[in-house]
Amino acid sequence: MLVECWHWRYRDPATWELRTTQRPMTADEVAAFPEAKRIRGTRTHRSEDEESPETIPAVFRPSAE
């Protein structure tokens, strides 16, 4: 089964900086980030078995905006 993934933009609650996820994430994976918004044009699909969030480091970078 394929799941829909996106890059997301969210505001870091500690610094209030606008940040972007480095890898595409599902809505369930990004639920921990308040008010995260999908970035238009970044939708991809992956197999549920392909990559587990527990095996991939969650690395984030500041957003260009």
Segment 40-62, tens digit of pLDDT: 999 998 887 765 554 455 555 66
Phi-psi sector, 28: left (phi>0), alpha (psi -120 to 50), beta = alpha
Question: Do 8 and 37 form a contact (C-beta atoms < 8 A)?
Answer: yes
- Residue 38 clears pLDDT 90, i.e. is over it: yes
* Cα 13 from chain centroid (whole Å): 16
Given 3-state DSSP classes, what are the helix, strand and coil percentages for the chain, each rounded to the nearest 5? 5, 35, 60
SS3 50: coil
pLDDT at 55: 45
Q: How much is the pTM? A: 0.68
